[in-house]
Amino acid sequence: MKAIKTAIVRLLSRIVGSTGIAEPERYSIVQEAAVLVPVYRRTDGQLMLVLVRRTERGIHGGQIAFPGGKRIPEDHTPLDTALRESQEEIGLLPQNVEILEHLPVIETRTTGFRIHPFLARVARPREWKLERKEIVEVLEIPISDFADPHAHGEEIRHLPSASRGEAAEARRICFYHVGPHKVWGATYRILKPLLPRLIGGEW
């Protein structure tokens, strides 16, 4: 009976609000990470968001993401991590970055990362300098594109189980269309609550 009660408690703890959708169990946090959420205004006043498309290497290979990565011992703070990684990945110099806000920390649902996002106003360089082993391209997207209702979508994907060694799980994934690509996962979760503020012209 005790085992049955324990199983029921675990199941209920995975229910999200009133949606009735069970969340996958999570890996324990194994790695701190940080990203920049870079924005800038074009000469015509259009607010632009900077994203990167990653190479196929690594557990987040091929995804659309913000520049950033894992924290290393030399990084005194998460912001150090975000600035270092952004310079390494796309050549964005720290002196060209103005931090606007430390956004809410999020945890990845299956890969064990705790991510510190930093919204930043940046001075766009004349040319992005990519770390070709990690980054395929830089994407510069008008924030207004995300206001289009058709930019948002959902689909079912088979993703790795939160329990190591188990079969992939079918999950409903929300995303934003970015040209032929999709912004989903941690990047989506950082961006979604921020968009109304960006679209509303808070910065």
H/E run at residue 17: none
pLDDT, tens only, 73-92: 999 999 999 999 999 999 99
What is the tally of structural domains in the chain? 1
Q: Does 126 fall in a domain?
A: yes
Q: Which domain holds residue 60?
A: 27-199
| Pairing state between β 113-122 and 97-102 | antiparallel
Which residues have CB under 8 Å from 33's CB, separation 6+? 68, 69, 70, 71, 81, 113, 114, 115, 116
pLDDT, tens only, 13-40: 343 333 333 344 445 667 999 999 999 9
pTM: 0.80
DSSP H helices, 48-183, are 78-90
Q: Does 103 fall in a domain?
A: yes
CATH of the domain at 51: 3.90.79.10
